[in-house]
Amino acid sequence: MKIGYVQSSPIFGNKRKNFEQIEELITKKKADLIVLPELFATGYTFISRKEVDNLAEGKNGETANFLKDISKKTGAIIVGGFIEKVGDDIYNSALMILNKNIIGIYRKLHLYYKEKLWFKQGNLALNVFEIKGFKIGMMICFDWFFPETMRSLSLLGADIIAHPANLVLPYCQKAMVIRCLENRVYAVTSNRIGEEKRGSDNFLFTGASQITSYNGEVLSRAPSDELFLDFRDIKVINARNKKLNDYNDLFNDRRIDYYRL
């Protein structure tokens, strides 16, 4: 299986330009799974609810149509972030798409900083989607900070975690080594680069998108300040073996009777 990420630099509020940037990076690439950043089509640093409303869309909106087109051209399962509007509610969400079909939607469970002003907390159960014989779970950015997220997806059978992100804290890339090691799963963290200074906030995004192996090995890491994409071939069967040795199985050895979550 070939998995990879696109590391982009969104122009705030300019979906057309942001689509073009992704398309130029992906041109003629073929893969099984490609992960795009969180909110890749819109930018991140909002200053009003009206601004968020104007950029929000339904699950079959222009971002979904763009992802369907990219999936058709690459043959890949595509995961990318978007602002999802459902009635009066707005979510920081991700779509999983193959060809012209929406496979699944994930709504960010753990909102970071001022996201709490604009978005409603995710209300969909964590889920794993089996496509082409692969089992893929989704989480978004700050969800990594809560180990329960990846553990839950792993217990549901995920081989790979698709992780769109807009990271500004300097910890995630190193932490994903542990997240993958403790669950023996692969992860694709697709981050963005660039700076957004809007209102009272000035965010510098850390780039360094990453493919992390089930054994904690970093298979690919992007530069911190360049448009970038990369792919790696993996064997998903490795993520289905939770044994560290003949005596230790990471899931069977859990002492759930003694945990308080």
Q: Residue 27 has what pLDDT?
A: 87
Ramachandran bin of 65, using left for φ above 0, alpha for ψ from -120 to 50, beta for the remaining angles: alpha
Among residues 15, 38, 57, 84, which one is catalytic? 38
Among residues 15, 68, 85, 108, which one is catalytic? 108
pTM check: above 0.85: yes
Angle at 113 between CA 154 and CA 152, to 5 degrees: 10
Series of mean pLDDT values for 10-residue runs along the chain (261 residues)? 98 98 94 98 98 97 98 97 98 97 98 98 98 96 98 98 98 98 98 98 98 98 98 98 97 96 78
Q: Residue 57 has what pLDDT?
A: 98
Q: For 2-258, which CATH superfamily applies?
A: Carbon-nitrogen hydrolase (3.60.110.10)
Residue 131: CB atoms within 10 Å: 15
Nearest to 160 by CA among 250, 68, 228, 236: 236
Alpha carbon of 198 to those of 45, 93, 192, 201: distances in Å?
6, 22, 17, 6
Strand partners for 216: none
**Cα atoms found within 13 Å of the Cα of residue 116, Cβ hemisphere only:** 5
Side chain identity at residue 180, one-letter code: C
What phi and psi values does residue 142 have, to the nearest 5 degrees?
A: -60, -15
- Say whether 108 is catalytic: yes
**Residues near 59 by beta carbon (within 8 Å), at least 6 away in sequence:** 84, 95, 102, 105
Q: Residue 3 has what pLDDT?
A: 98
Q: Residue 92 has what pLDDT?
A: 98
Among residues 84, 85, 135, 141, which one is catalytic? 141
Angle at 64 between CA 16 and CA 123, to 5 degrees: 120
- Say whether 62 is catalytic: no
Euclidean distance between CA atoms 1 and 15, whole angstroms: 30
Q: Which residues of 36-71 are buried (b: 16+ CB within 10 A; e: fewer)?
A: bbbbbbbbbbbeeeebbeebbbeeebebbebbbbbb
- Say whether 141 is catalytic: yes
